[in-house]
């Protein structure tokens, strides 16, 4: 039987590129679309740099189209060109603070984009879908660890709401038509890089997230890290999160695709992708210093609005249902981030 073909949206981004790599290694054919609004392109006709490096690492070919998923015609043309079996949907805008400033762009890109994609799928008889969801759908945890049964929808930012609303759309879709099989993967805090050091996280401008900020301080691109809040009710007063290695996360997607490919069961399924282990900001800073041999200068400042004290996953359901479990710990996350950051101090822009 021919290997299944997966359409990957947002495949040139951080999580998409790492997942494409694992999908190719697992034998899937991959078609990528991305509008490159948050990914580095080496030039108009070239494959985006991250995907070019994934091809180099795997020795396998990626079909790439510069397509905006909110553009119905562009999306349809990809379905006409290729016989697609499944879709893994990463394309989204993801900056929490920015989403509060420009909510309409977030709702258009993330919600309309997803609707256009789902309609094109249905028109082409493709009903297997893996969605990039987020622990943000849980809002402030009411209990810990956070299971998939935890109520969703109490999100404060427009970004978080796009993740929650999209899950609701997907649930309605599965109720309306029993051909749909949807796996929504709720990521906790993805960090790290592929072991090769060739691909990694390359944020535009000042990083919003902790790990890329630490890495840029360590490599000398930024003078110091601001630690947001040291008076949380946690072990050392700083925020506690469930960091998950990007390669574990990517492997979770392959397991989800394997499940959709092999079983006849349909409906909506949500799984946490996390480690189940909470790590504080200062623990991550110190682990990074050990892994890199660099000093990470930091300053304790006020809390960032909207941040919760503690959030970590119960990841048992993914283990039972997908046969997936994160295996890489904090030290490995820091070691691999440092390999990427030190070999590519300015990200993809500098080869």
Residues involved in catalysis:
159
By CB under 6 A, what part of segment 206-245 binds ligand NAD?
none
One residue of 4, 7, 10, 260 binding ligand NAD per CB under 6 A:
10
Per CB under 6 A, residues contacting ligand WQD are 94, 96, 134, 136, 160, 189, 208-210, 213, 225-229, 239, 241, 281, 304, 307
Question: Judged by CB under 6 A, does residue 275 bind ligand NAD?
Answer: no
Contact stretch for ligand NAD (CB under 6 A) within 12-20, 21-29, 253-261, 306-314? 12-20
Q: Of the two residues 19 and 294, which places its CB atom closer to ligand NAD in the complex?
A: 19
CA 319 to chain centre: 19
Distance of closest approach, residue 45 Cβ to ligand WQD, in angstroms: 32
Q: Of the two residues 64 and 294, which places its CB atom closer to ligand NAD in the complex?
A: 64
**Partner whose footprint covers residue 226, from ligand NAD, ligand WQD, none (CB < 5 to 8 Å by kind):** ligand WQD
Residue 178: in which H helix or E strand, if any? none
Question: Judged by CB under 6 A, does residue 35 bind ligand NAD?
Answer: yes
**Cα separation, 344 vs 351, whole angstroms:** 7
Token code pair at residue 252 = 């979770």
Q: Which residue lies nearest ligand NAD, judged by its C-beta?
A: 13
**Partner whose footprint covers residue 228, from ligand NAD, ligand WQD, none (CB < 5 to 8 Å by kind):** ligand WQD
Distance of closest approach, residue 306 Cβ to ligand WQD, in angstroms: 8
**Cα separation, 325 vs 314, whole angstroms:** 11
By CB under 6 A, what part of segment 58-97 binds ligand NAD?
68-70, 90-94
Distance of closest approach, residue 115 Cβ to ligand WQD, in angstroms: 20
Question: Judged by CB under 6 A, does residue 134 bind ligand NAD?
Answer: yes
Q: Let me know: does 62 contact 21? Beta carbons within 8 Å.
A: no
**Partner whose footprint covers residue 174, from ligand WQD, ligand NAD, none (CB < 5 to 8 Å by kind):** none
Q: Of the two residues 51 and 225, which places its CB atom closer to ligand WQD in the complex?
A: 225
Bridge partners of 313, per DSSP, are 146
Token code pair at residue 253 = 């997607």
Contacts of 73 (CB under 8 A, 6+ apart): none
Q: Of the two residues 69 and 254, which places its CB atom closer to ligand NAD in the complex?
A: 69
Contacts of 78 (CB under 8 A, 6+ apart): 7, 31, 33, 65, 67, 84
Q: Which residue lies nearest ligand WQD, judged by its C-beta?
A: 239
C-alpha torsion sign, points 57, 62, 66, 69: negative
Question: Quick check: bond before 145 cis, omega within 30?
Answer: yes
Question: CA–CA distance from 295 to each of 70, 216, 227 (Å)?
Answer: 44, 11, 15
**Partner whose footprint covers residue 304, from ligand NAD, ligand WQD, none (CB < 5 to 8 Å by kind):** ligand WQD
Side-chain-facing half-sphere of 230: CA atoms under 13 Å:
8
**Cα separation, 92 vs 33, whole angstroms:** 12
């Amino acid at each position: 039987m021919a290997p299944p073909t997966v359409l990957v949206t947002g495949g040139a981004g951080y999580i998409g590129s790492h997942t494409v790599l694992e999908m190719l290694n697992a034998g899937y054919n991959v078609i990528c679309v991305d509008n490159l609004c948050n990914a580095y392109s080496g030039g108009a006709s070239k494959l985006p740099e991250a995907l070019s490096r994934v091809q180099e690492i795997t020795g396998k070919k990626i079909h790439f189209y510069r397509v905006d998923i909110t553009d119905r015609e562009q999306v349809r043309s990809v379905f006409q060109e290729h016989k697609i079996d499944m879709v893994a949907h990463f394309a989204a805008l993801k900056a929490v603070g920015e989403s509060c400033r420009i909510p309409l762009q977030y709702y258009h890109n993330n919600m309309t984009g997803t609707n256009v994609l789902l309609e094109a799928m249905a028109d082409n008889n493709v009903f297997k879908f893996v969605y990039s969801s987020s622990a943000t759908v849980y809002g402030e945890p009411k209990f810990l660890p956070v299971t998939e049964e935890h109520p969703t929808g109490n999100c404060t930012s427009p970004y978080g709401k796009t993740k929650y609303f999209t899950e609701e759309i997907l649930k309605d879709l599965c109720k309306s038509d029993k051909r749909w099989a949807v796996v929504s993967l709720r990521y906790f805090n993805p960090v790290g890089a592929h072991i090769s050091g060739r691909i990694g996280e390359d944020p535009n401008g000042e990083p919003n997230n902790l790990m890329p900020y630490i890495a840029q301080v360590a490599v000398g691109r930024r003078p110091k890290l601001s630690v947001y809040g040291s008076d949380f009710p946690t072990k050392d007063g700083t925020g506690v999160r469930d960091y998950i290695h990007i390669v574990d996360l990517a492997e979770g997607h392959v397991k989800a695709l394997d499940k959709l490919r092999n079983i006849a069961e349909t409906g909506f399924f949500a799984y946490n992708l996390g480690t189940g282990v909470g790590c504080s900001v200062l623990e991550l800073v110190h682990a990074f210093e050990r892994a890199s041999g660099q000093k990470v200068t930091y300053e304790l400042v006020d809390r960032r609005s909207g941040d919760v004290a503690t959030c970590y996953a119960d990841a048992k359901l993914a283990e039972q249902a997908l046969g997936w479990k994160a295996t890489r710990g904090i030290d490995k996350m820091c070691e691999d981030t440092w390999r990427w950051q030190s070999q590519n101090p300015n990200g993809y822009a500098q080869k």
